[in-house]
Structure formats: C-alpha cells, structure tokens
Amino acid sequence: MGLVLWIAMCALVGLGAAQEATSGARLLASKHILNQHLVQKKDVTVQYGLHNVGDSTAYDVHLDESNFDKADFDFVTGFTQAHWDRIAPGANVTHTLILQPKEYRIFNFTAARVQYRTGEARDAQIAVGWTSSPGEGQIWEINQFNRLFAPHYADWITFLIMCVPTVGIPYFLWHTSKQRFEISRVATKKQ
C-alpha cells in the first residue's frame, strides 16, 4: 500500500513539473532549404518557421542568421535578421531568404539563432534557442548541373537530324521500288 502511494505521489509531482515546464512562451523554430537542387548562381530559397507552442505570448522575437557570408552568397530577397514584436500562443510566423551561391562546393547549412522574451516586461526572462539545422548540401557547378539535369534540346535535335539519313534513305528506296512495282503490276493487269 505504501509503495502504491509513493508511486502516485511521484507521478503527481512529475505531472506538476511537466505542466510548469510547458507554461510560458515556447518557440519551436525550423529552417528548411526549399530547393531540390542547389546550383551555383541560381536562387536558393531558405524558409524559417517559428511556432509558439507555449501558453503565453512570446515578445520581442529576433531571428539571426549568421551562416550566409556575403563572400559566398549574393542576397536576392530577404534579410539575415528578422524581428517580430510578438507571437501569440498557437500562432506561427515564417521568414524567407533568397540567395545565390557564388561558387560550387559542399556547404554546411547550420542553425540560426532565435531569441525572445517570455513576458511583456522589459526585465522578463530572455530565452535563446536555435532553429533546426538542414545539414550539408551539395552546391552544383552550373555546367555540371545542366549536363546532368537539363532537357538537352540541342542534343535531341542533333540526334534526330542524324537519324534522318539512316531512316530516310532506306524508306525512300523502298517507296520508289514499291511505286515502280505497282506501276508495272497495274500495266500487266491491263494487258
């Protein structure tokens, strides 16, 4: 009996600690590379998502991306730093960054930093977290990418032009022979 009472007491304490841990603002942050192939001098779309799973509003939310250096990337659209005044409980926000890699290589896409206050007061607790990390990605050289994945229209047109003599000449010979045979067959039937 004492053992059952002790287990029930531990479960209640654990449940109370779990509820206390989930109270307040809690942000889940993700970082996704939306492109299937990363190509040199082509747009790469990076999307950040923040979702408040806590039961109160997150205030003064800052997203800081320090992974993309201006020496390695040209920035097309978006900013490496974003700010939201507040994110309500259960709400989510997204931020998109579009950039172009300057050179081809394997690139390590690391996490971005997220910082927010758990309360509205200026002296409220500041929480710091990180987005998910997409990991390494191969940035293809544009010529190699085109060689592997382009539709090769010029190659197909050249192939068809090269096929015309090998298919067309035998067809032309067969057709002229057939016409001569039909003319001679019609002439023999009339006689």
Give the whole-angstrom CA distance, residue 1 versus residue 71.
69
Give the whole-angstrom CA distance, residue 66 versus residue 171.
66
Q: What is the pLDDT of residue 133?
A: 93
Give the residue ranges of the chain where pLDDT is below 70: 1-23, 186-187, 190-191
Q: What is the pLDDT of residue 88?
A: 95
Q: What is the pLDDT of residue 121?
A: 86
Q: b vs e for 19-35, b when ≥16 Cβ sit within 10 Å of the residue's Cβ?
A: eeeeebbbbebbbeeee
This prediction's pTM: 0.71
- Pair 87, 52: CB distance under 8 Å: yes
Q: What is the pLDDT of residue 154?
A: 86
| Backbone φ and ψ of 77, nearest 5° | -145, 145
- HEC per residue, 125-173: CEEEEECCCCEEEEEECHHHHHHHHCCCHHHHHHHHHHHHHHHHHHHHH
Q: What is the pLDDT of residue 10?
A: 52
Rounded to the nearest 10 degrees, how much is the dihedral formed by the CA atoms of 171, 173, 179, 180?
Answer: -170
pLDDT tens-digit readout, 135-173:
999 999 999 998 888 888 888 899 999 999 998 899 989
Cα 38–Cα 44–Cα 50 angle in degrees, nearest 5: 120
Q: What is the pLDDT of residue 73?
A: 95
